[in-house]
Chain A
Amino acid sequence: MDLTCLTAHKLLELLDNKEITVEEILDALFERIERLQPKLSAFASFDKKEAISRWQKNKERIKDKRLFGIPILIKDNICVKDELTTCASRILKDFKPPYNATVIDRLEASGAILLGKANMDEFAFGSSTESSAYYITRNPWDLDRVPGGSSGGSACAVASHQTILALGSDTGGSIRQPASFCGAVGLKPTYGRVSRYGLIAFASSLDQIGPITKDVEDAAILLSVISGYDPKDSTSAQIPVPDYRKIIKEPVKGMKIGIPKEYFQEGIDKEVELSIKEAINKFKDLGAICEEISLPHTEYAVSVYYLVATAEASSNLARYDGVQYGYRAPSPSAPQPPSPLLDMYKRTRAEGFGAEAKRRILLGTFALSSGYYDAYYLRALKVRTLIKQDFDEAFERFDCILTPTSPTAAFKIGEKIEDPLTMYLSDIFTISVNLAGIPGVSIPCGFTKEKLPIGLQILGKPFDEATILKAAYNFEQATEYHLRSPSL
């Protein structure tokens, strides 16, 4: 039995029945990681000995066994105490946080095993994992293609069975889009559902941590572990966490599903469109009621997003200045610059940040500058409210909304990296969700002729992850896409 290709809920069952051991799972996984890392570059860092010793030390802290013995890969922008956490950036090279993110504490309290850190776009700036300061992660279905991004390492590792579970973070689609490109399940929870404490901020009002898994039930289990109020994060919500694993198994008969017409216009790949249409029919077969709806402000989402997200990012990334931690440019031998401090700032940031990070810092700084603030940032906030209202109105009549996750399947490495605007447009279907703060899940719903996965996105009401997971689970049980694996 190849343990690497099993889901967490299956492994939990086998462990419970003492048919397998945790050591066997770890051995199988690390053997596969060592074989596939040179090929796929999904990991930013991993160390088998360290993973095992950390797991041994953690055993006393385990409070419940919801994830006992289940390995999980952590995106490299989530702080793990005393472990490299670099955001795939040169400026945080060698940075080891002195504390755990709240999600890490929760995972370890449930008995999960931290496998290592996942590669990503630098500071989560990107949709392809090409902007990592380490290396480009590859799509396990076609090594010439990107895995999506920014959580490309997490999605690739799940799809290529190098981990059982993974955590990603999603600011504009960074969990859902790579999940869709790699044929995995990716969930962005409602803003405030999962604590952001210890998630290295990109855009604080949009960021959420979420699961990337092999199937919907695993996503439900992982979400229930990491969710819930955290006094250390003022934006986390004091709303009870339901038993997702139980609710998802309820039928979808009578569920009202909206299909927004704005998501099926020019730019969408024909094969993608066809898959989504088939998925809609599948839901009808399952007894759901599907109707076309309108989200009229959809076309502004990308513009609004690239103002709000870059503005916040420019401020969040100001702390990387070489003073306390991370990379500091060496001081020039001679002559002494007129302002050594300014010189240190400039050279540290010039050498420490990659091109996309610099581009976003510049954009955000400009958008917040005196004289431009009202025209850009303030206006963007107003349109953000309109986008949110579109969803509020739709959810008065519908339980969830179906869309494609991305207009296309995975694109070729190098295809869009020189053209930021085209790259930004690949997030066109995922961005509104972050602006509105609502939850969204991407699940496999088909393959292109070139055998590339296609993702279906299901969106729900704030804090109603249960409904979208239920829809996703019912679809998954009625189809077989999630059972296919890339041959590697």
Chain B
Amino acid sequence: MTYETIIGLEVHVQLKTESKVYCGCSTNFGSPPNTQTCPVCLGFPGSLPVLNKKAFELACKVALALNCKISQQIRFDRKNYFYPDLPKNYQISQFAKPLGYDGLLDIFKDGTTKRIRIRRVHLEEDTGRLLHESLENFSLIDFNRSGIPLLEIVTEPDLDSPEEAVTYLASLKSILQYLEVSDCNMEEGSLRCDANISVRPQGQTELGTKTEIKNLNSFKNVKLALEFENKRQLNILKSGSRVIQETRLWNPEREITDSMRTKEEAHDYRYFPEPDLLPFDFEEANLEDIRKTIPELPDARRKRFIKEYGLSEYDAGVIIQEKTLADFFERCAALYERRKILANWLIVELLGILNQNNINIRELSLKESHLVDMLKMIDENIISGKIAKELLPEIIRTGRPPQELVSQRGLLQITDTEELERIIEQVISENPKAVEDFKKGKPRATMFLVGKVMEKTKGKANPKLVNEIIEKKLKEEI
């Protein structure tokens, strides 16, 4: 029997506001513990929440970008449960009427588009953070995070593999970054993901019993955890047993999921309307104002890059993923006509440097004009491509223009035929075997000799010219 996998994701994303969602405390990351707190976010007796307008607008912006319908009446609910990181022992959330619902996100994978339905988008508050490390028999609580606006984005069970789940996450992250509503940093916890997964025999209409997986703090862990859980559930079904509905915790060290609580132990959150925040009607006009702040989104930009710059689907897809990189590409493209070459440099060289240092292009001090000038120097045979690859990190490190670095370090390409002929003659005389090979009709002998010349010139020789001269010389030998 063949089985299919069904996955739904719940993503929590911290919204980038100056102040918290129900009070005026700062949301700055990394401040000393409990320095960004007040009676409201500490849940002190008598304190009351006041909705942060900015947080609400950012939430609407996301809901609109995900093609959601927006609830006409906005209301909040209390989610009741006891835990020390939740100072009121209830979370002000949205349950009965999420602000956004029935949305769509098109994900793009291997040349095809798949439509993922978004069930709901709602605004809530983050909890504090428990610290267990420092003291024995004690736990500490940092409430700086308590009350930071959190957006929950829930899909329908429309994803059919761990890879597709990651593709969805990457697309969602990309959209959130384009909207400039969040840092989307999984390590710092500004983007978090819980996954629901079930398997069922192919052709069965009702869903299999699902498990919920928590503690997924990177794309890699999302993929590994879902792969593990997928296999675990398949093995259970194949052995004739039944999957238990439960919440499981991903253990990234051992790369397994462990049972956390079963359905019987699940919380009854006793949701009810939050009496401290009155429901309010959302004006169509305000919605339009928010809609106007939505920029061109990744999908539209990818299509435009293909059309406008003649990029391949793959190249366009890679470049648009990070908004900052796509912006950089466009600024370079305004100065440089050969866009495919530009794209190639961005994808192969620049992205390599960015990923290695785990930074984005904005944090890299590279001027568009410097990159473009360097590409033009290759085009004009002033430097070789090989030299350029070595030059790029230098440009980034020093912030100097490429022309200056090239002349300073003597990296100019050797295009002087006389000098090249002299070097080539020397190489030919040092490698009689290669000449013999050539005579026997082995074309690779030429490439070998070109390599030797490049080696001798430390890559500065113009390879095209070297090739021509060698072929000419060898033919003369015959």
Contacts and interface: CB of A to CB of B under 8 A. Distances in A.
Nearest to B143: A324
A101 B46 CA distance: 8
A234 B48 contact: yes
A196 B45 contact: no
B129 to A, nearest CB: 14
Interface stretch (A133-141, A310-318, A387-395, A418-426): A310-318
A205 B48 CA distance: 12
13 contacts: A97-B39, A97-B44, A97-B45, A98-B44, A198-B46, A204-B275, A233-B50, A235-B278, A315-B272, A319-B43, A321-B82, A368-B271, A369-B268
Interface stretch (B85-93, B250-258, B296-304): B85-93
B276 interface: yes
Contact of B42 (A200, A324, A365): A324
B87 A365 contact: no
A345 interface: yes
B189 interface: no
B82 A345 contact: yes
Given A98-B44, A99-B44, A314-B270, 10 more contacts: A77-B46, A92-B45, A198-B46, A232-B50, A234-B51, A318-B88, A323-B87, A323-B141, A368-B271, A373-B272
Nearest to B270: A368
A197 interface: yes
A169 to B, nearest CB: 11
A296 interface: no
Contacts of B45: 79, 85, 87, 92, 95, 97, 200-201, 319, 325
B393 interface: no
Contacts of A200: 45-46
Contacts of A17: none
Interface string A75-112: 00111000001010000100101110100000000000
A341 interface: yes
Interface string A370-408: 100100010000000000000000000000000000000
A257 interface: no
Which bucket holds chain B's interface residue count? Answer: 20 to 34
B149 to A, nearest CB: 16
Residue picked from B46, B51, B82, B277, most chain A C-beta under 10 Å: B46
B38 to A, nearest CB: 8
B48 to A, nearest CB: 5
A422 to B, nearest CB: 28
A27 B272 CA distance: 50
A319 B270 contact: no
A377 B272 contact: yes
Contact of B268 (A85, A199, A311, A370): A370
B76 to A, nearest CB: 10
A231 interface: yes
Contacts of A97: 39, 44-46
A81 to B, nearest CB: 11
A315 B272 CA distance: 9
Interface of B: 39, 42-51, 78, 80, 82, 84, 87-90, 141, 268, 270-272, 275-278
B276 A318 contact: no
Nearest to A230: B48
A251 B51 CA distance: 43
A323 B268 CA distance: 22
A204 B276 contact: yes
B44 A315 contact: no
B87 A197 contact: no
A310 to B, nearest CB: 12
Nearest to B82: A345
- Interface size class on chain A is 35 or more
A323 B271 CA distance: 23
A368 B80 contact: yes
Contacts of B44: 97-99, 324-325
Interface in A20-56: none
Nearest to A201: B46
A345 B78 CA distance: 20
A323 B84 contact: yes
A160 to B, nearest CB: 28
Contacts of A205: 275
Q: Which 6 A-B pairs have the closest CB atoms?
A: A318-B89, A204-B275, A368-B270, A205-B275, A200-B45, A198-B46
A97 B46 CA distance: 9
Contacts of B277: 234-235
B40 to A, nearest CB: 8
A312 B39 contact: no
Contact of B48 (A233, A319, A370): A233
Nearest to B80: A315
A197 B46 contact: yes
A341 B84 contact: yes
A325 B46 CA distance: 13
Contacts of B46: 77-79, 85, 97, 101, 197-201
A95 B43 CA distance: 14
Contacts of A318: 80, 82, 88-90
A453 to B, nearest CB: 31
A98 B39 contact: yes
A79 B39 CA distance: 11
Contacts of A196: 48
A323 B278 CA distance: 29
B206 to A, nearest CB: 23
Contacts of A203: 275
Contact of A319 (B89, B271, B272): B89
Contacts of A377: 272
A311 B10 CA distance: 29
B256 to A, nearest CB: 24
Contacts of A199: 46
Nearest to A341: B84
Given A92-B45, A370-B270, A319 B276 contact: no
Interface string A185-215: 0000000000011111101110000000000
Contact of A234 (B49, B78, B90, B141): B49
B50 A319 contact: no
A78 B45 CA distance: 9
Contacts of B48: 196-197, 232-235
A485 to B, nearest CB: 34
A88 B80 CA distance: 25
A101 B268 CA distance: 33
Interface in A343-373: 345, 365, 368-370, 373
Nearest to A98: B39
Nearest to B24: A232
Nearest to A345: B82
